[in-house]
Amino acid sequence: MAHQFKSYIDGQWVTGSGESEDENPADLAAPVGTYGVLDAAQVAQAVDAAAAALPAWSLGSPQQRADILDRVGSEILARKEELGRLLAMEEGKTLPESIGEAARAGQIFKFFAGEALRIPGEKLASTRPGVDVEITREPVGVVGVIAPWNFPLAIPAWKIAPALAYGNTAVFKPAEIVPGCAWALADILDRAGVPAGVFNLVLGAGRVVGAALVAHRKLDALTFTGSVPTGRTLLRQAAERGLKIQMEMGGKNPLVVLADADLDKAVECAVNGAYFSTGQRCTASSRLIVESAVYEEFAARMQERLAKLTVGDPLQSGIDIGPVASGPQLDTDLSYIGIGRDEGAELLFGGEQVECATQGHFLAPTLFAARPEHRIAREEIFGPVAALIRADDYEHALALANDTEFGLCAGICTNSLRHATHFKRHAQAGMVMVNLPTAGVDPHVPFGGRKASSYGPREQGRHAVEFYTTVKTAYTAA
């Protein structure tokens, strides 16, 4: 029987004022379940509950916070196969990738369990005799969490865990197409002993639930991952009311392949970065910039490698690429494939929907030979579509890599220490990979980009303290 996923407000499960279907993108005839849709008044109740719970939680024992987060992490890790299966059914990621994401979410909660006991501070001497100076970090307050659908366990984890670790309360609004993963996280937090109101889950459409969350006057901070247009709208709203905001948005990440690279390794980096997780990663290698001397050979090897990939049901073994996460996203992918053809880009592989045993949103991995000015080489598609671009030499490749409004991640495949070192310094991105896929980061180090990709302090690792706390300076005369 399909599950009914509920919201979680002030320690209680809430059905909502309406109901919507939770689609299975690999089998449209077998939905994952249904979920209750909240209205603006119910969202307001969630924010009010978070505000009421804030004093006791923020001033309470950091050991309590650490213990709760550690229990959450332990349960996620113990149930990673079960949670991974839910994720694969709901979002379409292959089962091994989904289980890996669940494990990462568990590791994130455990990392921030430790950070709850390591909130930094300083004690300095004043310039005035007999005066001490203390610099401490305090919770920022009620944190709104708006997360996307492409990593429905890991991204909420790296937002919720630090929010709670540093003494904030949280209201979590997930993407509409992944209510099940959000419900599973809320259920685990509830059973781990999170006090009523400290964590709240609100399900529903962004135009209603998200808007009500951001507009609430008791909200102190907002962390958002999603599209550039939505992010820019939220930034304007935050600026009008002085709301602290952190945003991770789009990417059009380059992977540079130089003539001295190990081409076998470079092809694997490109395929992993561009097509795994169905290309639905903000760190995906959507621009493959290849030095002219090896361009034809690399293009041929890519086509051979893509022909060996299997598209299908993400729960089956031997599947490399699952379905696109939703019908609207599939329409976007197909639209950009049409745009690429219309603009004169050469379709080297794929470009068509794939017939499988069940009706779903299946799309073949697609590779174009493109020019830098083509829209498919400039705009984020967020699907299994990559553009192959020719570069004259390293300097030209670097210029092409930086010729984008985005700056999340950049990669290079080379055996030259000189070029690798220069690229790490001069790539205009928040993260740089050398002989690695652009997608795939560790949970204990900063995540974030530059330009239109990110705004505000970094996420993940110890740098998360910059967003989730505020600094206080106190002077004491002896």
Other Cβ atoms closer than 10 A to 277 = 25
Tell me how far CA of residue 69 lies from CA of 73, 102, 112, 474, in angstroms: 6, 15, 7, 30
Helices (runs of H) and strands (runs of E) counted in the chain: 14, 23
Helix 179-191 vs helix 80-91: angle between axes, to the nearest 10 degrees? 150
Query: In this structure, how many other beta carbons lie within 10 angstroms of the beta carbon of residue 332?
Result: 17
Provide φ and ψ at 166, rounded to 5°.
-90, 10
Element (H, E) at 123: strand 122-125
Q: How far is CA 200 from CA 46, 144, 169, 182, in A?
A: 6, 10, 8, 11
Tokens of 29: 């005839």
DSSP letter for each residue of 432-470 = EEESS-SS---TTS-B--EETTEESSPBSSGGGHHHHEE
* Distance from C-alpha of 93 to C-alpha of 113, rounded to nearest angstrom: 28
The whole-angstrom separation of Cα 77 and Cα 103 is 5
Distance CA 214, CA 416 (A): 48
SS3 75: helix
- Mind telling me the catalytic residues? 248, 282
Q: What is the DSSP letter of 326?
A: -
Question: Which residues are CB-contacts of 85 (< 8 A; sequence separation ≥ 6)?
Answer: 95, 98, 315
SS3 content of the chain, % helix, strand, coil (to 5): 40, 25, 35
> Is 311 exposed, middle or buried (CB count within 10 Å of its CB: 0-12, 13-18, 19+)?
buried
**Tokens 């690999």 — which residue?**
26
- What is the C-alpha to C-alpha distance for residues 226 and 388, in angstroms, rounded to an integer? 25
